[in-house]
Amino acid sequence: MGRVEGKVALISGGARNIGGASARALVAEGAKVVIGDLLDEEGKALADELGESARYVHLDVTSDEDWRAAVALAVAEFGKLDVLFNNAGIFNGGMLHRYKRALWQEMLDVNLTGPFLGMRAATDAMIAAGGGSIINTSSIEGLRGTPWAHGYVASKWGLTGLTKSAAMELAPHGIRVNSLHPGRISTPATDQMPEDLIPIPLGRPGTPGEVAAFVVFLASDESSFATGSEFVVDGGTINHIPTKA
């Protein structure tokens, strides 16, 4: 208990799955959280569940205005902002020669531009707080290539690179920036995928709670000397055979 006592975190895609598990884990360890999402009903329900330690805000990560409002809410309600968890993301896929430009752009808008806008909106508040931690949800696909997932792979590689450049720029302000690279994590969507689509050496998908444990670590002072780094949570997948096409 108390590993992030007194810290204030803003989570995009925070209503459920990895984001929801992370909100619960951070609050359990003493943090205050602002849950940002497009899923208003689920987000409000989670904030109600967590009580006075949580607030919900409608957050479209492609909107500058929504990001400014989310950061302002964190500061107004809890006095500061220490942690930004850029977790919102989407997936689509298709064969390269048939992959529509609109799908490509959708991937970049949400998975890459969204975190950029979040970091841009949060930086001044985090500098005012004396530093903090930014955690960007990339993917194991941000460390390798995978057929039929071109937009997703490109957006996640881009986010891995953005994490590194932001880490170097923000280090003098005491702001650490790291990327989180989950493999297959059990959610209602991924549970519909064929079991052998992504071979996992440990023999099972991960859970949102297992990823949330890394989020707490990266949000806490336990990771105080880590910045610009990749943290892989994938059951060994990245070291195994490629995903089936």
What is the average per-residue pLDDT within 47-55?
Answer: 99
Q: Which of 94, 98, 78 is nearest to 31 (CA)?
A: 78
- 76 Cβ contact list (under 8 Å, min separation 6): none
Strands ordered across the beta sheet of 132-137:
54-58, 32-37, 8-12, 83-86, 132-137, 175-182, 230-233
152 is annotated as an active-site residue? yes
Q: Right CATH number for 8-236 from 3.20.20.70, 3.40.366.10, 3.40.50.10440, 3.40.50.720?
A: 3.40.50.720
The answer to whether the beta carbons of residues 93 and 38 sit under 8 Å apart is no
The pLDDT score that the predictor gives to residue 199 is 82
User: Which residue reads 């986010």 in tokens?
Assistant: 159
The DSSP code for 182 is E
User: Which residue reads 């994490």 in tokens?
Assistant: 163
Of 67, 78, 152, 231, the active-site residue reads: 152
Mean pLDDT of the chain, nearest integer: 95
What is the average per-residue pLDDT within 20-24?
Answer: 99
List, for residues 79-116, the tens digit of each pLDDT value. 999 999 999 999 999 999 999 999 999 999 999 999 99
The answer to whether the beta carbons of residues 31 and 219 sit under 8 Å apart is yes
List, for residues 136-151, the tens digit of each pLDDT value. 999 999 999 889 899 9
